[in-house]
Structure 1
C-alpha cells in the first residue's frame, strides 16, 4: 500500500470515515442487545462522550492541515454525534446529555448568523465588482474562495451556482456585455425561442400556484399546501434567475480559450489546443457519459469534440459564426 498516497491525498477524508465508523458502532452498541453492553444492561452515555470530545477533535486536527477547516469540521461532526446520541442513548442512561442537546439551538442560531454575515459579505463583494465592471463570474468565484475556503470543492461550486442565481435574480439589469471576459461573445437567448419558452413556463407556474395551494389546503392539509407552495416559490427563484441570465451570459472567445457560460451554471473553460473537431449539429443529443449539453430548447447546433473523446454541445443564436470564429482562432 502506498502510504504517501494515504497521507497526502486521502488524509483529509479520514475524519469523515472515522465519523461514519463511530456512528455505526455506537448505534449498534446502544440499540442492540449484545455481549458488548451486557445484553442491554450497561449502556452508559460517557462512552460516546469520549469519542465526541476526544477522538473526533484529535483525528480532525491531526489529519487536516488547515486549522480553520479542522475546527469547522470538529464543530460539525461533534454536533452530528450529539444529535445521534439524542436518538440512540436510552432515556434512563442520559445524565448530562440533555444539556448538550439544548446547546443545539444556540448552535443553529450561530450557524444562521454566520451564514447571514457571509451572504452579506458576498453581496457586498459582488456589488463592488459591478462598480469596477469586473467579470461577475470571477467576482463570485473570488468571493466564495475567500469567505468559504474551508468548505469542500463540490460545496464551493454549488455555492457559486446559488450565488449566481441570486445575483441574476436581483442584479441582472446591471450586467453588461463588457463585464464578461473575452473578445467575442455569442448568446443563446433567441435560439429556438429559449428565453421566450422560459418566460412562458414561469407564467404557467405563477398561474397554477394559487390554484394548487387552495386544492391542497382543502383536499389534503394546510401543512401540505404550505410546503408545496414554498418549494414552488424556491424553484421559481431559479427559473426567473435562469430566464434573466440567458440573455446576459454569453459563450465567449479569447485568444487562447473558449469560455462556455450557460444559464446560471458554472462556466467551463476549454483551451483551443484541447479541441479536436468543431462541427455544426442538427440532431437531438441524448444524455451520456462524456457528453455535456449547454442547450435548453431544441437540438444543440454546435458540436465540440475534445482530444479526450468527450463532446460538448452548445445551443447558440449564430452557430455558423461561432464555428467560423473557432476555426479561425485555432
Structure 2
C-alpha cells in the first residue's frame, strides 16, 4: 500500500501545515539575521523555497486529482509570493517586484469570475417562470455547466449567497416533495444571526475611522472584506428563514445557511438519536446548527464520505439543530424501519 493512501487526509493536511510553517519561519529567521548583520538578503533561496519547494510539498502530500492540481499549485505559488513580499526587505527586491504585480492579476481574475457568476445568475433568474423558486434553477444550471468538477459546490454556495443577498428581492420558502422541518427557532438561531449582523453594522464605520488614521489603504481593504462578510451574514439570515430541511422518500435533504446543501441518502443513516446538550467538536462529527444549538444526531454507516464546499470528508455523525426534533426523529425512524 502506498504511504499516501495509508495516511488520513487530516494527517496529510497537518503535515503540510507543519512543512509550510517550518519553511516560512526558517526563511524569515535567516532574512532577519542577515538584516541584523547588515548584509543583503538574496532572493534566489526564497524563490526556490517559496515557489518550488512549497508547491511540490503540497503536491506530494495531498496527491490531488488532475482537475484540482493546477488550482492548488497556483494557490501555493500565491502564498509564496505573498510571504516573500513580507520577508524580503524592499531594498533587496528585484524579481519579487515583478512577482508582486501578479497578485493584482489574480485579484482581477477573481473579481472577473465573480462578475461572470453574477451575470449567469441574473440570466437564469430572468428566464425563471413566475411562481417558480429560483434556487433549484440556479443549482441545476451550475450542475449542468460544471458537472462533477470539484469546484462546483463552492460555486453553488456563492450563487446562493448572491441570490439571497440580492437587495429587495422577495424569496419564498423553498418547498420540494416531502416533509419539511425549519431550523430558525432552535437555540435562537435567527435572533443570534440578526444580533451579530447589527453589531457588525455598528462596528464597521468606527473601525474604518480608527484604521484610516493609521493606514488608509488598510482601512479600505479591511472595510471591503467586512462589507463582503456583512453581505454573507445577510444571506445567511435569509437562507436560515427560507431553506428548511426536507425528508423525502429516499433522502434527507440537509440545508443550513449558504454553505450546507446535502442530500443525504437514507441508506447512509444507521440510527438517529435525540441530543439533550450541545455536541462538542470531535473527529468525524459534522455539526450543522448555524448560530443555534444541536438537538439531534444522525449516526452514519462506517466509512461514509460526504461532499462539502471544500471537498469530501469522512463523517460518522451529523449533529443538527431543528425546531421540532421529536417530529423529525419519528418520521425518520419510520422511513428507516420500512427500508
Change (3 A) 1:145 1:274: same
Measure, in 2, the Cα distance between the counterparts of 1:293 and 1:78: 33
Measure, in 1, the Cα distance between the counterparts of 2:318 and 2:67: 39
Aligned equivalent of 1:213: 206
Contact in 2 for aligned 1:19/1:56 (Cα 8 Å): yes
Change (3 A) 1:142 1:29: same
Shift of 1:231: 6.3
CA RMSD of aligned residues (A): 5.0
Measure, in 2, the Cα distance between the counterparts of 1:101 and 1:82: 10
Contact in 1 for aligned 2:182/2:244 (Cα 8 Å): yes
Structure 1, 222-231 or 262-271: larger mean CA deviation: 222-231
Q: How does 1:26-175 map to 2 (within 5 A)?
A: 26-27=27-28, 30-32=31-33, 44-46=42-44, 48-49=46-47, 70-73=69-72, 75-85=74-84, 88=87, 94=92, 97-105=93-101, 107-127=102-122, 130=125, 131=127, 135=136, 138-139=139-140, 142=143, 149=150, 161-170=157-166, 173-174=170-171
TM-score by length of 2: 0.62
Aligned equivalent of 1:254: 248
Change (3 A) 1:143 1:276: same
Change (3 A) 1:83 1:325: closer
1:327 aligns with 2:333: yes
3-state SS of 1:173 partner: coil
Measure, in 1, the Cα distance between the counterparts of 2:159 and 2:148: 13
Aligned equivalent of 1:36: none
Contact in 2 for aligned 1:279/1:303 (Cα 8 Å): yes
Structure 1, 246-255 or 80-89: larger mean CA deviation: 80-89
Contact in 2 for aligned 1:140/1:160 (Cα 8 Å): no
Contact in 1 for aligned 2:181/2:322 (Cα 8 Å): no
Residues 92-132 of structure 1, C-alpha deviations (whole Å, 9 max, x = no match): 7x4xx425414422x13321221122112322444455546
Structure 1, 127-136 or 267-276: larger mean CA deviation: 127-136
1:264 aligns with 2:265: no
Contact in 1 for aligned 2:85/2:96 (Cα 8 Å): no
Contact in 1 for aligned 2:295/2:321 (Cα 8 Å): yes
Structure 2 unmatched ranges of 5 or more: 129-133, 303-315
Aligned equivalent of 1:177: 174
Shift of 1:138: 3.8
Measure, in 2, the Cα distance between the counterparts of 1:170 and 1:117: 19
Residues 167-195 of structure 1, C-alpha deviations (whole Å, 9 max, x = no match): 311176345535x5x53322233557654
Aligned equivalent of 1:314: 321
TM-score by length of 1: 0.63
Measure, in 2, the Cα distance between the counterparts of 1:221 and 1:173: 36
Contact in 2 for aligned 1:140/1:164 (Cα 8 Å): no
3-state SS of 1:242 partner: helix
Change (3 A) 1:144 1:87: farther
Alignment partner of 2:278 out of 285, 296, 299: 285
Change (3 A) 1:268 1:50: closer
Shift of 1:267: 2.4
Measure, in 2, the Cα distance between the counterparts of 1:278 and 1:62: 39
Contact in 1 for aligned 2:274/2:295 (Cα 8 Å): yes
Structure 1 unmatched ranges of 5 or more: 34-38
Change (3 A) 1:234 1:122: closer
Contact in 2 for aligned 1:129/1:139 (Cα 8 Å): no
